[in-house]
C-alpha cells in the first residue's frame, strides 16, 4: 500500500522488522518442540532462546545484505540467525523445516493480528452507522434497483444495511487467518542429521 494511505499500526505489522521477528519466533518454537521430542538437545534449544538476536534495523540490514549472496530470503535469514547464536546450538535453527513452514506460519500470525486491527476499526465503523441509521430512521428516500427507481425506503434503512454487510463479511475472516499451514501439510519423518548444513547459493536451477 502507498505509505501515505497505510495506517501506522497496520504498516508496522508488515514491516521487515515485524516479519523477521515472527520468523525468529517460529524457528525458536520449532527448535524447542524438537527438543521436547528428543530430536534436538534440550540445552542447545535453551541456548538458541537465550542467545536469539534482537531483530532491529541492524539485523534487517544484515539479512538483506546476506540475501544478495544467497538469493534466498529465508536462507539469508537462517544464516544470520545461526551466526548470531553461534555453534553448535545455532546449527539447530531451521533443522527439519522448509521455508514454507516458517514463512506461512508467520504469515498466519501476521494476518491474524491484521484481522484484529480491522475488526476493532470495523466495530467503531458499524457503531457509527448504527447511530446514523437511528437518526435517519424516518427520512424517506427513493429505493433503487439496478440504478432505477424502486419502492420507497428510508435513509435509516440504507445505513442499517451498510452496517450489516461488513459485519457478515468479516465474521469468518479471522478464523481462516489463524489456520496453521502445518495442519494440512504432509506428515514429515523425524530428521536424522545431527546438525543442519550452512545454506549455499544455488548456481543454476535443477533440470526438468
How do residues 79-88 score in pLDDT, each as one tens digit?
999 999 999 9
Say if residue 55's pLDDT is above 80. yes
Q: Residue 191: what pLDDT?
A: 43
Say if residue 90's pLDDT is above 80. yes
- Four-residue CA torsion sign, 197, 181, 27, 83: positive
Say if residue 109's pLDDT is above 80. yes
| Contact status, residue 24 vs residue 103, Cβ threshold 8 Å | no
CA distance 129 to 107: 32
155 CB burial (10 A radius; 0-12, 13-18, 19+): middle
- 127-170 residue pLDDT tens: 999 999 999 999 999 988 888 988 999 999 999 988 887 766 66
In the numeric block, which cell numbers belong to residue 149? 427507481
User: For the chain, what are the domain ranges?
Assistant: 3-104, 115-173
DSSP code for 112:
H
Q: Residue 179: what pLDDT?
A: 66
Mean pLDDT over 44-71 rounds to 98
| Contact status, residue 42 vs residue 32, Cβ threshold 8 Å | no
| Ramachandran class of 136: left when φ > 0, alpha when ψ lies in -120 to 50, beta otherwise | alpha
How large a percentage of the chain has pLDDT more than 90? Answer: 62
Domain 3-104 in this protein, CATH class: mainly alpha
Q: Which residue has the cell 480491522?
A: 118
Which range among 5-19, 57-71, 184-198 shows the weakest confidence by mean pLDDT?
184-198
Say if residue 21's pLDDT is above 70. yes
Which range among 64-68, 109-113, 173-177 shows the weakest confidence by mean pLDDT?
173-177
Say if residue 181's pLDDT is above 60. no
In the numeric block, which cell numbers belong to residue 88? 553448535
Amino acid at each position: 500500500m502507498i505509505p501515505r494511505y497505510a495506517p501506522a499500526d497496520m504498516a508496522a505489522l508488515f514491516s521487515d522488522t515485524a516479519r523477521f521477528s515472527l520468523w525468529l519466533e517460529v524457528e525458536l518454537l520449532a527448535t524447542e518442540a524438537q527438543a521436547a521430542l528428543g530430536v534436538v538437545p534440550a540445552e542447545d534449544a535453551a541456548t538458541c532462546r537465550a542467545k536469539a538476536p534482537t531483530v532491529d534495523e541492524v539485523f534487517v540490514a544484515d539479512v538483506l545484505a546476506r540475501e544478495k549472496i544467497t538469493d534466498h530470503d529465508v536462507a539469508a535469514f537462517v544464516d544470520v540467525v545461526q551466526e548470531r547464536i553461534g555453534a553448535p546450538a545455532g546449527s539447530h535453527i531451521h533443522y527439519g523445516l522448509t521455508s514454507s513452514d516458517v514463512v506461512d506460519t508467520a504469515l498466519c500470525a501476521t494476518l491474524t493480528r491484521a484481522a484484529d486491527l480491522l475488526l476493532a476499526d470495523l466495530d467503531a465503523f458499524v457503531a457509527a452507522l448504527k447511530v446514523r441509521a437511528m437518526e435517519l430512521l424516518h427520512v424517506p428516500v427513493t429505493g433503487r434497483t439496478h440504478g432505477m427507481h424502486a419502492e420507497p425506503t428510508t435513509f435509516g434503512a440504507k445505513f442499517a444495511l451498510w452496517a450489516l454487510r461488513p459485519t457478515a463479511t468479516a465474521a469468518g475472516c479471522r478464523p481462516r487467518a489463524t489456520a496453521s499451514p502445518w495442519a494440512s501439510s504432509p506428515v514429515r519423518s523425524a530428521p536424522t542429521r545431527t546438525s543442519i548444513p550452512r545454506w549455499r547459493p544455488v548456481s543454476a536451477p535443477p533440470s526438468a
